[in-house]
Amino acid sequence: MRDGVTSQVASRLRRWCGGWRLTALVWLAFGAVPAWLAAQPSVLGLPGERVPIVVLDPGHGGDDVGVRGPSGLLEKDITLQIATEAARLIEELLGLRAVLTRTDDSTVSLEARAARGNQTGGDLFISIHIGGSFTPTRREFQTYYFEDPRGWPSPKRTETRGRVRPVRGGAGQVGVDLQPQVVLWEEAQVEFLDASQTLARLLYSNLRAQFAEEGRGVFGLPLLGLRWIRMPAVLVEFGSLSDPTFAAQLHDEAYVQRAALGIAQAVNDFQALQR
Amino acid sequence: MRQHGERWFGRTDGSVQGWVLVVILLTIVGGAFWLWIGSSWRDGTARSPTVREDSLPPGEEISVWFASPQEDALVSEQRRIPPGAMPIDRAKAALQALSAGPQGEAVRTLPAEAKVRELFIDGQGTAYVDFTEALSRNHPGGSWSEMLTIRSIMQTLAANVPQIKHVQILIEGREADTLAGHIDIRRPFATTWAGDQ
């Protein structure tokens, strides 16, 4: 009797699981669900287990070459080298996840870079640039955070707090403690001004240590590429490619290595402050 | 025997030839002097550095702001423009001199090819300055250089036309996002913005 029931259940199960249903179960069990959980870790209520994401933004690219050095060296190539190396160090040494806004010589608009950074749900955004000048004047590195002397389109928005989603290019929409209000795309950086300034200062001090020289300083500017970023965001500008002496340094891999190490150490210091 | 009453231009009298020569010479000298004065006025800068100040033609002085040799501040140079210029002409002359570049050790902040297409000052003191595309296309790039370019434009306008309180930069008649990919220029800046100097 008991064997009969068992065999009946087993038979029904075999029939039900046959064909497309079995395929779907396997796909759900080993593919879609783990992937979704990995992408939405906060849903599990285990924020401590989430691996922080650092978004690295190699400036310019594709048709937009950036600054052109006297020997033909292009800003877009150097920024990609530094960002790629920094990403490797951040993942291997710090155990964090690094995401690049471009991984090859492609044209990516400022808006698309911000959207990519926001969509990954990144925790930090670092934009990497090389300076330029009308003359071969030497210029030290600088770090920047967002600051607009013109204020914000709607001042009352500066009081907005809480994890909410930007209108465009927003962070993940599931799992964050959504508030009824929305953050305007133009004001995505409002909530992170203080943290961005802290990150800019940490980056500056770490680069100063790496290069064993004074930089030009830490500054606030209305940089469009940072305005739309919904996380602590900074921009670093290394020297001036119009300066032949500096351009010659960039041919040396050691410079790229130091720059990348300075970025990775700043990320580590910032993470330590957040704990 | 020479007959009187001939047409005067047909005369071969030596005294007439002398007068004609004098007139021609005066015309040449006068024309050269006029051209020299005219060129000095037109660009407001054409005087040679060796010309003494007291020999300059009279006119109004304007200040043009460039980057310091270390590019860590703005420094001014003086130029002269014709007296009695309207505010909009002062503004245009000042920006033209800014584009022409410094005469001393200062560093230029605008590409030499960049020209002002049009300039308009509204009733609220906002100057809309429309540049040719060269301002963006020939800019060397970089956040710092863009900041110097924007600040030098604003400082030059504010120093010479006090009624200008804000500046909106346009490229080929349109608002642009940035000059070379960095600073947001979609809205007017107050001329009091000190940047990060």
* Chain B contact set for A217 (CB, 8 A): 196
Q: Is the pLDDT of residue A164 over 50?
A: no
A150 and B188: CB-CB below 8 Å?
A: yes
Structural domain span for residue A152? 50-274
> Tell me: the pLDDT tens digits for B157-184?
999 999 999 999 999 999 999 999 999 9
Pair B88, B155 in one domain: yes
SS3 state of residue A54: strand
The pLDDT of residue B16 is 61
Q: Where are the alpha helices (DSSP H) in chain B?
A: 14-43, 87-100, 134-137, 143-160
User: Does residue A212 lie in a domain region?
Assistant: yes
B143 and A142: CB-CB below 8 Å?
A: yes
Pair B63, B160 in one domain: yes
Pair A28, A54 in one domain: no
State how many domains chain B has.
Answer: 2
The pLDDT of residue A196 is 98
**Residue closest to A59 by CA, chosen among A39, A74, A43:** A74
Pair B38, B90 in one domain: no
Pair B85, B137 in one domain: yes
User: Does residue B34 lie in a domain region?
Assistant: yes
User: Does residue A40 lie in a domain region?
Assistant: no
Pair B14, B64 in one domain: no
Q: Is the pLDDT of residue B10 over 90?
A: no
B144 and A235: CB-CB below 8 Å?
A: no
Maximal CA-CA distance, chain B: 91
Among A93-107, A196-210, A217-231, B18-32, the least confident range: B18-32
* Chain A contact set for B168 (CB, 8 A): none
More confident residue, A43 or B92: B92
Structural domain span for residue B12? 8-43
B195 and A221: CB-CB below 8 Å?
A: yes
User: Does residue A162 lie in a domain region?
Assistant: yes
B140 and A67: CB-CB below 8 Å?
A: yes
Pair B88, B163 in one domain: yes
Pair A69, A162 in one domain: yes
User: Does residue A45 lie in a domain region?
Assistant: no
> Tell me: the pLDDT tens digits for A30-83?
555 544 444 444 333 345 568 999 999 999 999 999 999 988 999 999 999 999
- In DSSP notation, A123-159 reads SEEEEEEEE--SS------EEEEE--TT--SSGGGGG
> Binning pLDDT at 50, 70 and 90, where does residue B67 land?
very high
| B196 in A contact zone (CB under 8 Å) | yes
User: Does residue B1 lie in a domain region?
Assistant: no
User: Does residue B143 lie in a domain region?
Assistant: yes
Q: Which of residues 115-154 of A touch B (CB under 8 A)?
A: 129-135, 137, 139, 142, 144, 148-150
Pair B86, B128 in one domain: yes
| A67 in B contact zone (CB under 8 Å) | yes
Pair A12, A120 in one domain: no
A129 and B143: CB-CB below 8 Å?
A: yes
Q: Where are the alpha helices (DSSP H) in chain A?
A: 2-17, 20-27, 33-39, 75-94, 110-119, 193-211, 224-227, 244-250, 253-274
The interaxial angle of helices A2-17 and A20-27, nearest 10 deg, is 80
User: Does residue A39 lie in a domain region?
Assistant: no
Pair A23, A103 in one domain: no
How far, rounded to the nearest angstrom, does the alpha carbon of residue A74 sit from its chain's CA centroid? 23
Pair B152, B174 in one domain: yes
Contact indicator for A207, A236 with CB cutoff of 8 Å: yes
Pair A223, A125 in one domain: yes
| A221 in B contact zone (CB under 8 Å) | yes
Can you tell me the distance from the alpha carbon of B58 to that of B81, in angstroms, rounded to the nearest whole number? 9
Pair B61, B35 in one domain: no
Those residues whose C-beta lies under 8 Å from the C-beta of residue A4, and which sit 6 or more positions away, are none
Pair B90, B136 in one domain: yes
Q: Is the pLDDT of residue A21 over 70?
A: no
Per the prediction, chain B carries an average pLDDT of 81
Closest chain B CA to residue A66: B141
pLDDT average, residue stretch A120-125: 97
Among A55-69, A126-140, B36-50, B55-69, the least confident range: B36-50
How far, rounded to the nearest angstrom, does the alpha carbon of residue B180 sit from its chain's CA centroid? 24
**Residue closest to A241 by CA, chosen among B148, B144, B177, B197:** B144
Pair B84, B150 in one domain: yes
State how many domains chain A has.
Answer: 2
Can you tell me the distance from the alpha carbon of A195 to that of A75, in angstroms, rounded to the nearest whole number? 28
Give the closest of A66, A139, A227 to B184, CB-based: A227
Q: What are phi and psi of A145, to 5 degrees?
A: -120, 170
B71 and A59: CB-CB below 8 Å?
A: no
Those residues whose C-beta lies under 8 Å from the C-beta of residue B62, and which sit 6 or more positions away, are B44, B78, B79, B80, B81, B90, B93, B94, B97, B159, B160
A137 and B70: CB-CB below 8 Å?
A: yes
Those residues whose C-beta lies under 8 Å from the C-beta of residue B50, and which sit 6 or more positions away, are none
Pair A179, A247 in one domain: yes
* Chain B contact set for A237 (CB, 8 A): 142-144
Pair A29, A74 in one domain: no
Pair A190, A220 in one domain: yes
B183 and A223: CB-CB below 8 Å?
A: yes
Q: Is the pLDDT of residue A187 over 70?
A: yes
**Residue closest to A75 by CA, chosen among A244, A241, A243, A260:** A241
Q: Is the pLDDT of residue A107 over 80?
A: yes
CB pairs under 8 A between A and B: 92
Share of chain B above pLDDT 90, in %: 65
Pair B19, B62 in one domain: no
Single pTM value for the model: 0.74
Pair A146, A197 in one domain: yes
User: Does residue B197 lie in a domain region?
Assistant: no
A66 and B147: CB-CB below 8 Å?
A: no
